[in-house]
Structure 1
Amino acid sequence: MVFISVLITLFNPISSWRADADTPAIAPLPPATSTQPQQLQTVSKGTEQTIELSVLRIPTQQYLTSNWFGARDSFANHGITPNITFTQAISGNAFGGLSTSKVDWRYRLDATLTLDTQKLCGWKGGTAYVDFLNHGGQNPQNNLVGQLQAISAIDQSPDTRLDQLWYKQTLLHKKITLKFGRIDTTYDFDDPRDSLNFLNGSFGFAPAIFVFPSYPFSAWGGELTLQPASCFFIHVGLFDGNTSNTLPALNTTNPLAVQNPFGLFGIAEEGLSWHLPWHRLTGTFVAGQWYHSGHFDAYNEPPVNATEGFYGYVDQTLWRAGNKPAADCPRLGAFAEYAWANDRVSLITQNVVAGLDWHALIPGRPEDDCGIGETWADLSKYANTPRGYEAITEAFYNLQLTPWLGIQPDLQYVAAPGGGAAPDALVWTLQMEIAF
């Protein structure tokens, strides 16, 4: 009976029917004030009877495991926010690539803890964060397509590790922010707002930044952000340079190393934001530069001491309904990015990414997103690939079924996988995310 009740709740949480005086009826439920199930009630009104039925309202709660009998709220009031998130992706190849007879699956499991120091101990402006992750499954790059740019940002070899462990402190009314510890820089640098819902890894950060300390190799380091005005910021970071691309760290990278002989990675961003007068259409331009002091293998010459690159992107809201905050109303956003790296060191020497993201396109679906985008990678001439480039077109619809469950169907057309090492391919992916 409980299982049947849950199914009723999932597919029709408020059901009702009216009948003659001898037939009970299910009346609409009053607004839920608790996650606890209500008792079955029979209300008489003249000769008509109404039966009110309520079960656990799974679709409307924030997390799959609900409020832990009030424990979540109690933790939050004391500045403690634990979370568990599970992401599962399944991909297949319709034609071309390496294989059309396989289906690859992979997952990522994150267990995180966020501490608000003001609520926890009265220390204003402090945030501590820890993230343990486990990921596993197959990688479509090896089994299905042979592409260079990840079909999904979670595509990596199986592993379990401490991904992030950092402390952040804001000062002078958030005009200065300090952050130090083990950091995944994807969340802080090269981060166009309207590219966040795309699955392909190149929309997460430009692949030309081939030494970026990001998933699955976060890095120890520190960041400083200066924001003297709401429309301008400067953001710099310095990190341990031990990545899978440095030498002799290649294939022997220790992702937990604090000190190593493989150099340092430095990055800087300068950003300018604005809003257009009609409907307050917001926009951002960011210019970034990076430098790595390590030793790198080079094409047709001895290893190179240090390498560098740059990137820039623009993100602009093109339309939105009304004057509500962008997160609360339908909106259409666009973004474009260009990145460059040394072609004697990096296989991807130039990268162009652009796309559109439409939030709440369908009436009555305020949390859904859909988008279409293109990522183009120019490959080093010294690599001698058959076609010298790789281009991927992606289209997706992110369906937020409940606050804790999202499902995203995704299609990617891959032109010249691996620079033409394999035939053009069409890859489908179904990705699911659950917040426990």
Structure 2
Amino acid sequence: MTSKLLAGALPVFALGSLMAATAAKAEDKPDIGVPDESIAADLPFDSVRASLAASGVKYGVNYNGEYYDVTSGGLSRGSTYNGLIETYVDLDLEKIMGWKGATIHANAFYVHGDGPTAKTGSIFAVSNLEGFETVRLDELWLEQSLLDDKVKVKVGSIAADTMFFISDTAAVFLNGTFGWPGILASNTIQGGPGYPLTSMGAVVTFTPNDKLTLMGAVFNGSPADPFAEDPQKDNPHGTDFRFGDGELMILEGAYKYNIGLEGTVKFGGWKQFNAPEGVYSDFRSGNGVNNDYGIYGIIDQQIWKGDGDKTITAFGRISGSPTDRSPMDFYFDTGVLFAGFVPGRAKDTFGAAYGYGQISSDLVDTDPSELKTFESVLELNYVAQIANGITLAPDFQYFWNPGAVAEVDHAAVWGSRLKISY
């Protein structure tokens, strides 16, 4: 199946090769198409990749493989292996055809193996990579930059979790809730446009200066059939470009500052409009409602900076949604990350993060003997850079009240992830 992805990308790469000879302008440091963290940086110079980059075509392939073992609690014990092969291409349309400020991005991946969350039974996915085994188109969008890149308009099939509700510090952790948080995955229709699903939509980003960023987006309300038992199986290859499931709007503002130590604060909110009848209901009355919404705040703050690359950074995120219709009505996570503390390993990091999701009291009241009031997770991990573009991340997670189900015991999970970027 992976060969189909590569075969589909070959015509794009061939187009870039044909146009390489007419690359518009030389630069002092030409872009050779190699990402900052890539095994290609230590390989012999790739003239084809450099030629494509000069023509406006960049591509890459990444592999992630991970092993986990549920050693106690949850629904069952045992080990799992799952992985993700991803390929992507970025087209600079100004270099290719003279369309100033326009770019096209596409990426696809092959998810394989069995993830550990089926064994823990948790709301928060143990791994932010696991999913239904398939070849899947992820994002496919066109972006137009305007007003000297101060305004960017993106349209197409978009993953909201790459743009909204993001903490850069939290991104190093492997549990899914530290990316697309559990409150959004629980309260949006079919989990919303977060990995491994995307939705058709449009995003406008306004960056008037290097400190302030404002974003607004409207997505189709569901990435799959709103009533499908399993949305990933319902839209197995990411090519069901749906419309007509209501509208999901997300707004966010971010401000960067420096008080001797760098920080970023973000505030945002989301609302689902015109949800299909039967998706949402008032837990107290049982009557249907056609919307849900939430607000959130985020802070990333460097709290110490030492010699060289030594830093300590903390993050915190908090969110709330209405109790009468939202399965999860309150959420917060927090954590701390240490970088550069291991002698001779300036790029290694280690840290701890904690996430808490409160189950709606109105929902718990519908079945108080079976439902618990919260689920939470603690994650400890270490990310070691083995070589340029290769990292190994040992990981430990502990869950309290997995799934917020009364008969499921607290769960302990050990694992490790290998990532190779080309």
Q: Give the TM bin, normalised by the shorter chain.
A: 0.7 to 0.9
Among 108, 131, 138, the alignment partner of 1:156 is: 131
- 8 Å CA contact 1:249–1:262 kept in 2: the answer is no
Separation in 2, partners of 1:405, 1:84 = 13
Contact 1:110–1:131, Cα closer than 8 Å, also in 2: yes
**CA distances 1:366-425 after superposition (whole Å, capped 9, x unpaired):** 222211010011012214444311111101001110112111000011111111441111
Map of 2:108 onto structure 1: 132
The superposition leaves residues 89-135 of structure 1 with CA deviations (integer Å, 9 ceiling, x where unpaired) of 111022222222x2111111111011223443444433221101111
Q: Which of 381, 391, 397 is 1:396 aligned to? A: 381
**Which of 302, 309, 314 does residue 287 from structure 2 map onto?**
302
> Does the alignment pair 1:73 with 2:50?
yes
Which whole-Å CA distance do the structure 2 matches of 1:68 and 1:124 have between them?
29
CA–CA distance in structure 2, aligned partners of residues 154 and 233 of structure 1: 28
1: CA distance, partners of 2:379 / 2:239:
34
**1:67 Cα offset (Å):** 5.2
- Cα pair distance change 1:360/1:120, threshold 3 Å: farther
1:43-192 → structure 2 map (5 Å cutoff): 62-63=39-40, 66=43, 69-100=46-77, 102-142=78-118, 144-192=119-167
Tell me, in whole angstroms, the C-alpha distance in 1 between the residues paired with 2:114 and 2:41.
27
Structure 1 distance, partners of 2:195, 2:180, is 11
Q: CA deviation at 1:69?
A: 4.2
Please give the alpha-carbon distance, in whole angstroms, between the structure 1 residues aligned to 2:199 and 2:168. 23
Separation in 1 of the partners of 2:323 and 2:148?
43
Moved over 6 A (4+): none
Residue identity opposite 2:306 in structure 1: A
**Gap change, CA 1:91 and 1:99, over 3 Å in 2:** same
Shift of 1:361: 2.1
- Structure 1 residue 214: Cα displacement: 1.2
> Which residue number in structure 1 is paired with residue 5 of structure 2?
none
Deviation of 1:287 after TM superposition, in Å, equals 0.8
AA at the equivalent of 1:186: D
Task: Tell me, yes or no, if structure 1 residue 218 matches structure 2 residue 198.
Answer: yes
Q: Distance in 1 between matches of 2:85 and 2:324?
A: 37
Instruction: Provide the C-alpha distance between the structure 2 equivalents of 1:320 and 1:370, rounded to a whole number of angstroms.
Output: 15
Q: Partners in 2 of 1:112 and 1:65 — Cα distance?
A: 21
Q: Distance in 2 between matches of 1:124 and 1:360?
A: 40
Q: Which runs of 5+ in 1 are unaligned?
A: 1-59
Conservation of the 8 A alpha-carbon contact between 2:402 and 2:410:
yes
Cα 1:392–1:82 change in 2 (3 A) is same
**Could you tell me whether the CA contact under 8 Å between 2:330 and 2:359 is conserved in 1?**
yes
TM-score (norm 1): 0.79
Look up the match of 1:32.
none
- Verify the 8 A CA contact 1:335 1:354 in the aligned structure 2: yes
How far apart, in 2, do the equivalents of 1:321 and 1:172 lie? 39
SS at match of 2:184: coil
Q: The residue matched to 2:47 in structure 1 has which SS?
A: helix
Question: Per-residue deviation at 1:68?
Answer: 7.0
Structure 2 letter corresponding to 1:257: D
Relative to its length, the structure with more helix (as a share) is 2
Is the contact between residue 292 and residue 326 of structure 2 (CA under 8 Å) also seen in structure 1?
A: no
- CA distance in 1: counterparts of 2:178 and 2:204, whole angstroms: 24
CA contact (8 A) 1:320 1:330 kept: yes
Q: How does 1:201-216 map to 2 (within 5 A)?
A: 201-210=176-185, 211=188, 212-216=192-196
> 1:269 matched to which residue of 2?
252
How many angstroms apart in 2 are the aligned matches of 1:160 and 1:413? 31
Q: In the superposition, relative to structure 1, how do residues 119 and 403 fare at CA in structure 2: closer, same or farther (>3 Å)? A: farther
- For the pair 1:407 / 2:382, whether they are aligned, the reply is no
Residues 253-287 of structure 1, C-alpha deviations (whole Å, 9 max, x = no match): 434333433211110001222101x3xx2111111
- Which amino acid is the alignment partner of residue 388 of structure 2? P
Q: Could you tell me which of 208, 214, 232 is aligned with 2:212?
A: 232
The match for 1:17 is none
| Corresponding letter in the other structure for 1:404 | G
Q: Which amino acid aligns with 1:430?
A: S
3-state SS of paired residue (1:74):
helix
Q: Which residue among 366, 385, 402 is the counterpart of 2:346?
A: 366
* Cα pair 1:242 1:249 within 8 Å, conserved: no
Mapped partners of 2:409, 2:299: distance in 1 = 33
- Larger C-alpha radius of gyration, 1 or 2? 1
Query: Of 217, 234, 239, which aligns to 1:256?
Result: 239
The residue type paired with residue 290 of structure 1 is W
Change beyond 3 A, Cα 1:64–1:109? farther
Give, as a single letter, the amino acid of the residue that structure 2 aligns with 1:343: T
**1:328-367 Cα shifts (integer Å, max 9, x gaps):** x232111101112233433222111000112222122122
